[in-house]
Structure 1
Amino acid sequence: MNSDEKKKPLCTRERLSVLWIVVMFSMAFADILTFVLPEALNDLVMGTTDVIITQELLVVMAVFVQIPIIMIYLSRVLNYKVNRWANIIASIITIIFVIGGGSFYLHYLFFASVEVLCLLLITWYSWQWKVAKGTKNS
């Protein structure tokens, strides 16, 4: 790196987008690693889980999982006021989904902790987000 180059801090939009990426990957890998566990996969195949999995339930879960995915993009393109509230509301909904839909596998608890921490940061950064007059909604 050239000594004249200075690291430019991330603007709020970029920071929010990156946090949503972390949440999305953590959600995906928590589920992927769960399927590696023989007992989890066996319970799912045999239908002995505590939850009856239906097409409707899968659609609801897909909607909740889609929130972090779409927020990666929306965090960068929505106007300032809508962006702030969209991030706050989406992060709260996603926290409820992560906690409510979780399991007690150790790897899942780890991923859920990372997800909730990132979602709390998203809420905090969005709540604290102020745009100085004459700037470009950073």
Structure 2
Amino acid sequence: MRARLSAAWVFVMLNMVFADILSFMSPGALQQVLAGTAEGIQITPAFLLVAAVVAEVPISMVLLSLLLPQRTARWANIGAAVVTVAFVLGMGSATPHYVFIAALETLGCLAIAWWSWTWRPAEWRAPSARLATDM
């Protein structure tokens, strides 16, 4: 289960990165960023800090899914999936490529939340046994 969750976070994270890369290819996007705005939002140091913190959630979960104790990992995955979906849906654009990728990110986060919610006690293991058998 841990490897599955970690891999799902890699899937979500890579989709987030490619959504941003493709967004920079939209006509006028680079000019907006150079002018200090993005999709009508003023780019400030505070905005960049919030964006960095929110982007760090799926990045951190790749590792934390493998290392946290099971009960903590379960709730961390659920919470991180909710935060990530809120960010994806709340901060995105309505361009076709973004809507498509955001749908995949959302499905990935829903799968993470479901797998975490249904993670059965029979799968709970000590950290040393967990890493040896899940990899």
Give TM-score scaled by structure 2 length: 0.87
Question: 1:33 is matched with which residue?
Answer: 22
Matches of 2:100 and 2:29 in 1, distance apart?
17
Matches of 1:81 and 1:47 in 2, distance apart?
43
1:18-63 deviations in whole A, cap 9, x for unaligned?
Answer: 1000010000010011111222222222346411110110000000
Question: 1:7 is matched with which residue?
Answer: none
Question: 1:3 is matched with which residue?
Answer: none
Residue aligned with 2:81, SS: helix
Gapped runs of 5+ residues in structure 1?
1-11
Matches of 1:79 and 1:47 in 2, distance apart?
42
Counting aligned pairs with the same residue, the percent is: 44
Matches of 1:47 and 1:60 in 2, distance apart?
16
Residue aligned with 1:37, SS: coil
Question: 1:101 is matched with which residue?
Answer: 91
Structure with bigger helix share is: 2
Q: How does 1:1-40 map to 2 (within 5 A)?
A: 12-40=1-29
- Indicate whether 1:65 and 2:77 are aligned: no
Question: 2:125 is matched with which residue?
Answer: 136
Q: 1:47 to 1:58 in 2, by over 3 A?
A: closer
Residue identity in the other structure for 1:98: V
RMSD: 1.6
Query: Number of paired residues?
Result: 126
Question: 2:33 is matched with which residue?
Answer: 44
Residue aligned with 2:125, SS: coil
Matches of 2:80 and 2:53 in 1, distance apart?
12
